[in-house]
Structure 1
Amino acid sequence: MFDTDKSARSTASYDWSASALGEAARWPLPLRLAADLLLNAPLPSLLVWGREMVLVFNEAYGALAGPGYGRTPGGSVPPVMPPPLAAAGEALQQAWRGEPLVLSGVQLAFRHPEGLREERWDLRLTPVRDEAGQVAGVLLTLAPASPAASEDPAPGASLRILVVEDNLDSQYLVCEMLKAFGHEAEGTAHPDDALAMMARQRYDVLFSDVSLPGMSGVDLARRALQDQPALRVIFASGYGDTLLRHVEFPHLSLQKPYELDQLQDALAKIAAMPAARA
């Protein structure tokens, strides 16, 4: 499936002296072992080491990500979060807390010279512990999604989306864009009204601004998830992800101002995310 070199690889196959990790001979043993497993693995794999997010990836992931991603095997802090890590969301934070996880049927997009390549993958996240037993890194392996997970939605399927945005012009524009994508969309400016609307009917997606009058979008989502645990959540924020660092439930976030293709991509990913816990 992957056009990669068939020879065996290990940390000794590369010169790491100019990387953020330094010479491999000085690496801690858990890092060397995890990197050797990753570099010799046939499936696309990433290793995130340390809270600085130093990234190591193998030949198979380099082929999948495309020539613009960088030189294998990495060993640096990426300027942009790689698609598998971005899609993992809260699952990545759970792995940092020591919990191995599997996310099934996650849609990922990679840019190649011939255009955008989109496929569904199963993501396996494994915590890597240091000599003291603390989580020092996360190994993420991509496997082709099972046929059941990769089936396309039924033709004409749409999402019922509640948009909560106190800027009425923005609210109207987002609702119209969502309708143009083929979804059902309703909007409201106040979180209390949003809770009342969700009490009357079910929604597939809550698309909320983080900063709202009277209640944050995060608190709104927490209350909504108590009654609708299967609700998917997308946040829009003009303050980056600062206010979302400690959100405990699965979600996606868009940085304002976002582009049309970013909104479409978020909607495509949201159905593959695990349902939040009640």
Structure 2
Amino acid sequence: MTQQDSISLHTLPPLDWSRTALGPPSCWPPCLRLPVDILLNCPLAMAIAWGPEKILLYNRAYASLMGMRLESVPGGTVPIMQPPVFGWNGAALEAVWGGAALAYAGQAMPLWRDGAPSELLLDLHYTPLRDEGGAVRGVLCAMQLAGAPAPAAQEPPSHARILVVEDNPDARYLVCEMLRALGYEVESAGDGEQALAMLRDSRYGILFSDVSLPGMSGVELARTALRSQPQLQVVFASGYGGGFTSQLDFAAVSMQKPYEIDQLRQVLASAAARVPTVRL
């Protein structure tokens, strides 16, 4: 196995990604850029193994959990031994690289902390990161101490309940996890027909939908949903940019993929503020 590039991630000061094996973010595929945004801003400990070189990316919470020293400059190297969360079970990780999303509760992780060997019991959640063609390019691992509650996030208005509609299961999982990390109550659907059924059974404050869906488009879904829930705030994720919403016959906001987590945070906060303050 080749040596891995270890990249310590934080938001201040800005990282000079051009000095790392990944290159500048403008060259990253969306299937890396969005997970890295989630990883950087989520209070959960997260790490990514990326590409055939198994480039390692991690956040402050991961470094703290693993007893690692967080470097101020990215791009160093680590020994060829896999980090514990990516090396404890070869068969399991092979399955994830093959496309399976897996979860393991109470796994013992051998660590070296404070100059001595130790062990932690961790709940581990693995998600394959697929490119637009469906090929697995990396693996995301989210983890926490076994039995520990999820870190508290800033609670948004209770009426800002979100229905996420995205046909790509990996993208849907990542977006939902990111929104939950921001403190929102989230449910999801894989297509417009399923979303309409959920809208008939319950009420939401925000519809967050991809524009291009199999069958019914996101625009058609939103137009239909607004007939029964006119208070619904519509946010689109698309490759068309924000200009196309000016051609619609209803109010909507659009974010161009790939979007940054700060942009998403601001757009949703603005949408939540427009939702009636009646509990749903």
TM bin, normalised by shorter chain, reads 0.3 to 0.5
Q: TM-score, normalised by structure 1?
A: 0.45
Higher RCO (C-alpha 8 Å, min separation 6): 2
